Structure 1
Amino acid sequence: MPTGVAIRDPRQQLFEAAERVLLRTGPTGLTSRAVTEEAGVAKGVLHRHFTDFDGFLTELVRGRIDRLALRGSALLAAAGTGTVADNLTAALIDVFDPVGVAVVGLVIARDELRTRLRALGSTGIPLMGEAAGVLAGYLAAERDLGRIAGDADVDVLAPTLLGAAHLLFADREAGAPDGGAVRKVVTTVVAGAA
């Protein structure tokens, strides 16, 4: 982009470009050059707004975590409505949208990114750890309402649901599973707690 041309919200433009690159090439193709080329901006724009590329990636993932927190609030508000299986199915499909799956792969692939995210309070695999917390909070609310067993261990159920669902979504070439496959995983995992 020529010097002197104003860029509307360059940070958001770079984040959106990074998501497109991630979807197209996966974590190995996500470089600062690929992002700035995709965004149609000079490479210096990224470094003007972020300390370095891992700083940019940290904010990209934090954005997904913040989005997850908002969706988690909506899921918690849904406790006591609909069915537990339908609520969990919808939540897992949301967590593992194509960008979410790509971001999980990115976090797993980049040690420095995980280190920075953990310094900000993430645990385990960042984004997945927060997703487990959201699911556990929802399951605890449903347990308190008597819609799942009083002795259900939500801190085991939540990551079990995430891991099983991630296996369904992780194959980029196969595409996303249908809702029925996700619901089958959910009903199987929570069957003992229903």
Structure 2
Amino acid sequence: MPTGVALRDVREQLFDAAERILLQAGPSALTSRAVTTEAGCAKGVLHRHFADFDAFLAEFVLDRAERMDARAAALRESAGTGTVVGNLADALTALFGSVAVAVVALITFRDDLRARLRERWPAGVPVLTEAAIMIEVYLREERDRGRLSPDADVDALAPTLIGAGHLLFADRAAAPAESDVRRMVTAVVGAAVRDPSA
């Protein structure tokens, strides 16, 4: 098997294992041994492909941030359909129901990881920064379509939604009720929505 293909398979296997551990047991349980055990491979495999464990974690976080592209495309395609509040609530539920909240905890938990990420990601938390951009692009699209008021400050609304969403989903054993998410979204963007049925 070509080296590039095998490396990609190993990377994905290790990243998926790290995500499972992070979601099930939190950042303190995320060690190189735990990842390789969960991935079903020898510990040396991780160190053959990454300089050290923090290099692995940085690549893992950036990989999860890159996966926002598919979510961003789906949200943008929803512009002009359904309701603005419903589209945003669904997007935030999908985002924070994923590994995003756990990634924030991981970055907060590991100083060396934050330092590594700063080398390639100068500001913000990668997954949340990408999410804020995703929401901002969507809100601009809705504003251009006339479903938000022309003076809607999407630059302020997007990070507000991400921050409020993170607080709503953080440290919960189960996701908040759909009605709670919709209520939060309505509180943030309701004044900017031109037609509540839109």
The reply to whether TM is greater than 0.5 is yes
Tell me how far 1:142 sits from its aligned partner.
Answer: 0.7
Alignment pair present for 1:148 and 2:184:
no
> Which consecutive residues of structure 2, in runs of 5 or more, have no partner in the other structure?
1-5, 194-198
Q: Deviations over 1:12-50 (max 9, x none)?
A: 111111111111210111111111121221110001111
Alignment of 1:111-190 (within 5 A): 111-121=111-121, 123-173=123-173, 175-190=174-189
Q: SS of 1:182's equivalent?
A: helix
How far did 1:8 drift?
9.4
Structure 2 matches for 1:1-194, cutoff 5 A?
A: 9-121=9-121, 123-173=123-173, 175-194=174-193
Q: What do the CA deviations read for 1:134-158 (whole angstroms, capped 9, x no partner)?
A: 1011101111111011111111111
* Bigger RCO (CA 8 Å, 6+ sep): 2
Q: Percent identity of the aligned residues?
A: 59
Specify whether residues 105 and 64 from structure 1 end up closer, same or farther in structure 2 by C-alpha distance, changes over 3 A only.
Answer: same
Q: TM-score, normalised by structure 2?
A: 0.88
Given that 2:7 and 2:49 are in contact with CA atoms closer than 8 Å, whether structure 1 keeps it comes out as no
Q: Contact 1:107–1:126 (CA<8 Å) still a contact in 2?
A: no
Tell me which amino acid in the other structure corresponds to 2:134: V
Q: Is the 8 A contact 1:160 1:189 kept in 2?
A: yes
Give runs of ≥4 in structure 1 deviating > 3 Å. none
Contact 2:100 2:128 in 1 (8 A): no
What is the count of residue pairs matched by the alignment? 188
Aligned letter for 2:156?
Answer: V
1:134 maps to amino acid:
M
Going from structure 1 to structure 2, the CA distance change for 1:63 and 1:7 (only over 3 Å counts) comes to closer
Task: Work out whether residues 108 and 125 of structure 1, in 8 Å CA contact, stay in contact via their aligned partners in 2.
Answer: no
Amino acid at match of 1:189: V
Residue equivalent to 1:3:
none
